[in-house]
Amino acid sequence: MIPFLDLKAPYLELKAELDEAIQRAVSSGWFIGGPEVDQFEADYAAYCEVDHAVGVANGLDALHLALRAMGVGAGDEVIVPSNTYIATWLAVVQCGATPVPVEPNEATYNIDPTLIEAAVTSDTKVILPVHLYGQPADLDPILEIARKHGLRVLEDGAQAHGALYKGKRLGGHGDAVAWSFYPGKNLGAMGDAGAVTTNDPDLADRIKVLRNYGSRVKYVNEEQGYNSRLDPIQAAILRVKLAYLDEWNNRRRMMATQYQKGLAESGLILPNVPDWADPVWHLYAVRHANREGFQKQLESQGVSTLIHYPIPPHLQGAFKDMGFKKGDFPIAERIHDEIISLPISPSLTAQEAEQVVRACLN
């Protein structure tokens, strides 16, 4: 059986280094903040070619605190993709603001920049594109709309560590990027973790205060903050894994190339990569009109698959109060009905990828 994702494999590959890093973190006596967190923040900022990385507890908090730091609150609107994981929308409602969904480009699955301007109102504060499946959204037209209307841009980079937009690493194109280091992400911790990267010193400063009870000086609370800190043991683990991110992303790229070639004549709708995008293949998602049948076909040949995602945010019970109904975002709904993710990960071999291709063709 080819697993969809083997979370133990990255640990086993780097066991000696990871064990040593965990030991180092534990023996230091720093259990909140401290040198491991500081060093990971410096390393990740350097990797993303930005001035600041601020560690937080998880990816949802990274989005939420970044929006808070941008001043988003009750009565504000944030433009989000209709086609995304629910966290993107949840971060907006956690601020008391309203997510305003915009449909994706059906070829790339990412927010369609040509549809954004029609969704801008006098209440819009932020545009929140997601780099879904590891492929960068088309940022330049989004940044131009933001400049024109005085909006800020927060990117959801939870699936795209190391991806390049027009040759430049994600991290500092917009005002800030929110990252998740959930274990299954391209850069994954061994528990929950997240960060925000930015070139804006004021945003970085606000997020540092917000993540720590609204406090800069111990027991002096300048505002109502949160407890959302990056665990130093996770920071030590992430420092080790960051050094392997490019190599592991390259293994994903090789697998994706194998799939693109092997499945070209399969009749499946394959990922479409614009020439300005260098994706990192967090997921390799294809489309099939009879997804359930296709999933069974693969399962019977030992290939595990997952659906990312079966229900779009606007049709989730979590957002029923917003009054959306089926048909409101037909492109997102069609994608959600047909999409299915094939296994892709640094721990799979070329032979296993070949087995996946054969299973798809049978």
Ligand X SMILES: *Cc1c(COP(=O)(O)O)cnc(C)c1O
Give me the residues that bind ligand X (CB under 6 A), please. Answer: 58-60, 84-85, 87-88, 130, 156, 158-159, 180, 182, 192, 194
Least Å distance, CB 150 to ligand X, is 26
Nearer residue to ligand X within complex by CB, 192 or 278 = 192
How far apart, in whole angstroms, are the C-alpha atoms of residue 221 and residue 219? 6
**Which of 229, 278, 301 has its CA nearest to residue 61?**
229
Nearer residue to ligand X within complex by CB, 58 or 199 = 58
Angle at 195 between CA 180 and CA 86, to 5 degrees: 40
| Alpha helix (H) residue ranges in the chain | 8-13, 15-28, 35-47, 59-69, 87-94, 139-149, 201-210, 232-242, 245-262, 291-300, 330-338, 350-361
Buried b (16+ CB within 10 A) or exposed e, 153-176: bbbbbbbbbbbebeeebbbbbbbb
Classified as helix, coil or strand, 152 is: strand
Nearer residue to ligand X within complex by CB, 56 or 255 = 56
Nearer residue to ligand X within complex by CB, 67 or 263 = 67
Nearer residue to ligand X within complex by CB, 134 or 294 = 134
Q: Closest-CB residue for ligand X?
A: 59
Nearer residue to ligand X within complex by CB, 111 or 359 = 111
Least Å distance, CB 296 to ligand X, is 26
Least Å distance, CB 359 to ligand X, is 26
Give 144's contacts (C-beta < 8 A, 6+ positions apart). Answer: none
Least Å distance, CB 265 to ligand X, is 31
State the angle between helix axes of 35-47 and 232-242 in degrees (0 to 180), rounded to the nearest 10: 40
Least Å distance, CB 234 to ligand X, is 11
Nearer residue to ligand X within complex by CB, 77 or 156 = 156
Residue 280 and residue 344 in contact, taking contact as beta carbons nearer than 8 Å? no
CA atoms within 13 A on the CB side of 35: 7
Least Å distance, CB 59 to ligand X, is 2
Least Å distance, CB 108 to ligand X, is 15
**Which of 144, 359, 334 has its CA nearest to residue 259?**
359
Least Å distance, CB 282 to ligand X, is 8
Least Å distance, CB 192 to ligand X, is 6
Nearer residue to ligand X within complex by CB, 58 or 198 = 58
Least Å distance, CB 107 to ligand X, is 19
Nearer residue to ligand X within complex by CB, 192 or 338 = 192
Nearer residue to ligand X within complex by CB, 59 or 225 = 59
Give 359's contacts (C-beta < 8 A, 6+ positions apart). Answer: 297, 298, 301, 302, 303
Residue 161 structure tokens: 């560590």
Residue 355 structure tokens: 């087995």
Neighbours of 101 (CB within 10 A): 24
For the chain, what is the radius of gyration of the CA atoms? 20
| Alpha helix (H) residue ranges in 187-290 | 201-210, 232-242, 245-262
Label residue 350 exposed, middle or buried (CB < 10 Å: 0-12, 13-18, 19+): exposed
